[in-house]
Amino acid sequence: MTTSSYNNILSIEYPGIPSAGVYYFNTHSGLRYEVRFGRLQENILHSNIVFGVINDEFDGEEYIATNKGEVYQVMNTIVEIIKNYMLEHPKVNIYEFNAIGRENEDNSVENGRMVLYKRFLPKIFDANWKYKIEGNFALVTKKQ
């Protein structure tokens, strides 16, 4: 587990087995978040990051994004989780994630959620990584 380098990190529930790749945390307003790392079957060194609110009140929409004035605290906690995962899985050299938009948004056009995520990429990935962002999809690869 990492030592927090950012302010306002929420308490993280780490997986019992690091390879499980599923982390949880709760906000002060009672939202429960899940951060899940999935390895791609065709390349186990490529990880897909999925995170979002998992409270029952959202009718099964597992990865709904909610903002109750806690966005920076939530994002700082997600940064901490990803950095921890990277420490425990140093050979993973590709990360990807989607900034899932609202129903009426065009996925090929960068949405506000991706703008927010881009602000946090430098807190996670140093100069040894490069970003490729197309619309609401981000691919982060380790430089050779």
- DSSP states along 24-89: EEE-TTS-EEEEEEEEETTEEEEEEEEEEE--GGGTT-TTB---SS-HHHHHHHHHHHHHHHHHH-
**pLDDT surpassing 70 at residue 72:** yes
CB of 38 within 8 A of CB of 89?
A: no
pTM here is: 0.86
**What mean pLDDT comes out for the span 73-89?**
96
Q: Is the pLDDT of residue 4 over 50?
A: no
Q: What is the 8-class DSSP label of residue 90?
A: T
- Owner of token pair 């945390």: 25
Section 44-50 average pLDDT: 96
Residues 105 and 107: their CA atoms lie apart, in Å, by 6
Average pLDDT, the chain: 86
Strands 43-53 and 94-98: parallel
Share of the chain above pLDDT 90, in %: 62
pLDDT band at residue 3, thresholds of 50, 70 and 90?
Answer: very low
